[in-house]
Homo-oligomer: A and B are copies of this chain.
Amino acid sequence: MRKAVLDRFMKCNILKVKKREAMPVEKKVILVIVDGLGDRAVKDGKTPLQLAKKPTLDELAKKGSTGLMSAIGRGIIPGSDTAHLAIFGYEPQTYYKGRGPFEALGVGIDLREGDVAFRCNFATVDENLRVIDRRAGRLKDEGAELAKSLQGMEIEKTEVIFLPSTEHRGVLVLRGEGLSPSISDTDPHTSGNPPVLKSKPLKDTEEARRTARIVNEVVRKSNEILSSHPLNKKRKEEGKFPANIILTRGAGVYQKVESLKERYGFSSCCIAGSALYKGVAKYVGMEILKVPGATGRIDTDIEAKAKAAKEALRKFDLVFVHVKGTDNASHDGNLEEKLLMIEKVNRLAELLKDEDAYLIITADHSTPISIKRHSSDPVPVLIYGDKVRRDEVKSFDEVSVSSGCLGHITGVELMKIIVDLMGCGHMVGS
């Protein structure tokens, strides 16, 4: 009996088992996630957010609720994929199955349960399969053309799907029986002309051995096919690196999960430039909107994104807007560019603040300019909109919001708060 009562309680508690009827939400939400926004004291003891000109963000901080967030938990360094999963309400401990499936979903592959997906690079190797350039000189638009030549492979009764992504990037999907994601990368990840690695099983199972074998054969064949591709002959003649092999990494298996709509009853959509974020969004059931000018880079068209978000708000209950340029700037150690991107985010907030919706602005993780990598430093959160508590915080930055009224939350907790603001939560008890 006690277990039954506990089960019933847990159903409410995790806010996911009880299905909601399709009904209007109390209030819609625009959720802006600014990638790698959090930072450390990079200049004059101040973080980029403390240095940047961002009057609108500060105005919203003054009128809204603020706090700090550690997407996965304190002291834990989040990846972009796991942090987004957490903020969307899906504990990475349960839902993260490797990056490959997100990339595959992001480029538009309709994954099936059990598919094993990989991130890939087009790369340049010499005749001894030593890697000359992991990015084949950063391809521009040739990826699509080259990818066509890799279609239609079947190895050991396994369907091989390959799609191009941006620049030198692509996605490989293996579809069939008896596959395993427990295999190692063929991408050596290092400089200095290392040899292409042989994928190895990471578990002592027939599935892992078989999958490693198939991947090695795909990589071998890609080299065979791409080496004689006319586009590569042309690149060579132009003195460019030929894209004569694909290298695989980030193997993951796809498992269908309950969507946001199924969990909470609200509809949602995604406005993002990069495949990964579209992929995570699609994984949780968001509709992916095509926004020309959303590049996932510093040159992204903020006005176009804002316009798309406003339009999307008519149709969807939650509109997720992703801004990537801040993270790129941090990985490059470029303060000036990060400040510029923060000004763009300020402009985005200015364009969105008067919508009839809660405007929530946060980041997935910190990428301090001083270390050019993700860190566990918590990120600021801001909730602006109808009747939220106004704390004493007057600036939207890591230090000021640490005394905000939201306190210090996790990504999963933020989604619970959002669900409640939307009127889609379930009371625990009565």
Contact = CB atoms under 8 A, between A and B. Distances in A.
Given A77-B426, A97-B5, A98-B5, A368 B387 contact: yes
Given A75-B413, A80-B429, A99-B429, A391 B387 contact: no
A59 B121 CA distance: 50
A417 B41 CA distance: 16
Interface of A: 1-2, 4-6, 9-10, 13, 15, 26, 40-42, 45-47, 63, 68, 72-83, 85, 92-94, 96-99, 180-182, 203, 207, 250, 252-253, 255, 368, 370-371, 374-378, 386-392, 398-399, 402-409, 413-417, 419-420, 423, 425-430
Contact of A41 (B73, B388, B398): B388
B430 A79 contact: yes
Nearest to A403: B403
Contact of A428 (B26, B82, B389, B406): B82
10 contacts: A2-B97, A40-B388, A46-B390, A73-B413, A74-B407, A77-B427, A79-B428, A81-B430, A92-B428, A250-B430
Contact of A399 (B40, B92, B405): B405
A352 to B, nearest CB: 20
Copies of this chain present in the complex amount to: 2
Contacts of A255: 2
Nearest to A84: B429
Nearest to A249: B430
A334 to B, nearest CB: 16
A82 B429 contact: yes
A390 B45 contact: yes
A68 B406 CA distance: 10
B253 A72 contact: no
A370 B74 CA distance: 33
Residue in A13, A75, A386, A388 whose Cβ sees the most chain B Cβ within 10 Å:
A75
A77 B390 CA distance: 20
A405 B407 contact: no
A243 to B, nearest CB: 23
B96 A9 contact: yes
Nearest to A365: B427
A253 B1 contact: yes
A399 B389 contact: yes
Given A68-B407, A387-B368, A413 B74 contact: yes
A93 B7 CA distance: 9
B181 A420 contact: no
Given A370-B386, A408-B408, A420 B77 contact: yes
Nearest to A82: B429
Given A41-B388, A402-B407, A417 B376 contact: yes
A201 to B, nearest CB: 11
Contacts of A389: 40-41, 47, 377, 398-399
Contact of A4 (B182, B370, B371, B408): B182
Nearest to A409: B74
Given A45-B390, A97-B5, A429-B82, A402 B399 contact: no
A77 to B, nearest CB: 5
Nearest to A26: B371
A98 B426 CA distance: 15
Given A40-B387, A399-B389, A405-B399, A6 B425 contact: no
Nearest to A407: B408
A427 B42 CA distance: 22
Contacts of A13: 72, 76, 93
A295 to B, nearest CB: 21
A255 B415 CA distance: 34
Contacts of A429: 78-83, 85, 92, 96, 99
A1 B254 CA distance: 12
Contacts of A74: 407, 409, 413, 416-417
